[in-house]
Amino acid sequence: MVMAKFKDYSTEQGELIPMYLSKWIPNDHLVRLISDIVDQLL
């Protein structure tokens, strides 16, 4: 049986991809306005 090979990691490593995509989008970005409008329509 072949054992799975995992990449080395550090417990001190931060997250590679933010849990919330909104962390990547600036507060004044147009997509936030569009998102608010769509939320109001639904």
pLDDT of residue 13: 77
pLDDT of residue 19: 78
pTM over 0.95: no
Domain ranges in the chain are 18-42
pLDDT of residue 26: 92
Residues 6+ apart with CB under 8 A from 18: 24
pLDDT of residue 37: 96
Query: Per-residue pLDDT tens for 3-36?
Result: 888 888 777 877 777 778 788 899 999 999 999 9
Q: Considering only residues 41 and 9, tell me which one the structure prediction assigns the higher pLDDT.
A: 41
Exposure pattern of 1-40 as b/e (b: 16+ CB <10 Å)?
A: eeeeeeeeeeeeeeeeeeeeeeeeeeeeeeeeeeeeeeee
